[in-house]
Structure 1
């Protein structure tokens, strides 16, 4: 292991100098944590934009849906478009509705079950899109401090080896290695803290959006159930 050479304090304890004089293991730890931090922020920005768009799409769809427009007309408008959120749930339900009546649906219970399953599947797909990559934030938030701590341990070990090699216990010999170790810890926290905060916020936002879509799914299921009773149920 190389001894830590003495240098001017300002240069020796700069972040770049600490990185360059670190052992290859600590360098790998720092680079990995920095990459995780960059990817974390990319996910955060992407999700904030995606959730904002989703809320706008939900608001627009609710406004159109409850405006009194017929279900058939709304379905024709949305059927050939790329829909998200409530629109995707609505299209999935109406598609199953039309397929069933084209084939001569006779069982109200069977038709209602198929429609509910179609909406559940559409809701599941929408939630998978919303929650995608949130697991990375959770993993980074929980693992990054320990990865940084691993780099810290290696840095401290390097300092002790430098002391043993130089037989000098002065602060000038010990300080660079300790600073290198603390830098690894700092980078670990730099990656972990935003990841934890963002994961909690984004998970909460995703849950709120899910509640809105589930509420619409239940309301639309009730609407279709009444229409099924009128069209399929045997008349006395």
Structure 2
């Protein structure tokens, strides 16, 4: 544990936003992964959906289908346009945290680069004060530069992989949701 704290201290002030960004990103990844894989599409049967929309029965469960049906019921109409609007709202709610993961994973190496620049500035400052004869004075700045670069990449690379997995799953959930919404709209107009 003391090695980790030493590593974080060695990276300087830029390690604070890198660690904060990492915690934020991974909390979103875990949240969405649990949501997608535990709830899936939200196993709502077509007849249960129609009964709910007509006010005949409560809706059980949770997940994207339940969210879609709740929004459709509030809207009160099941026309093609209304279904499309609600689908886009639900899609946005599903995909916004996933896109945030991508942004955070993309920002991490930039923060690492900022730390690199600050570490090099620190190194040149040490050279201007101590000259090149003091390796210890130079080592702190170089160490800061390298630690922040590595840290930014260590956050970014797995974050981009997580984004790819979540994005693929979100696309599948949205496609299933579109098909379900179309079936609900057709059946609701038919009865």
Change (3 A) 1:119 1:83: farther
Q: CA RMSD in A?
A: 3.1
Work out whether 1:147 is the aligned partner of 2:111.
yes
Work out whether 1:32 is the aligned partner of 2:12.
no
Report if the CA contact (8 A) 1:145-1:185 is conserved: yes
1:96 to 61, 68, 76: 76
In structure 1, how many angstroms separate the alpha carbons of the residues matched to 2:159 and 2:79? 38
1:78 to 58, 78, 81: 58
In structure 1, how many angstroms separate the alpha carbons of the residues matched to 2:160 and 2:104? 8
Report if the CA contact (8 A) 1:93-1:118 is conserved: no
User: Cα deviation per residue 1:46-71 (whole Å; 9 max; x = unaligned)?
Assistant: 111111233162xx21xx336xx794
In structure 1, how many angstroms separate the alpha carbons of the residues matched to 2:118 and 2:181? 54
- Unmatched segments (≥5 aa) in structure 2: none
Q: Deviation of residue 218 (structure 1)?
A: 1.8
Work out whether 1:54 is the aligned partner of 2:39.
yes
- Unmatched segments (≥5 aa) in structure 1: 1-10, 98-113, 228-236
Structure showing greater Rg: 1
Q: TM-score, normalised by structure 1?
A: 0.66
Change (3 A) 1:203 1:143: same
Aligned residues: 188
Change (3 A) 1:19 1:160: farther
Q: TM-score, normalised by structure 2?
A: 0.80
Q: Deviation of residue 88 (structure 1)?
A: 4.2
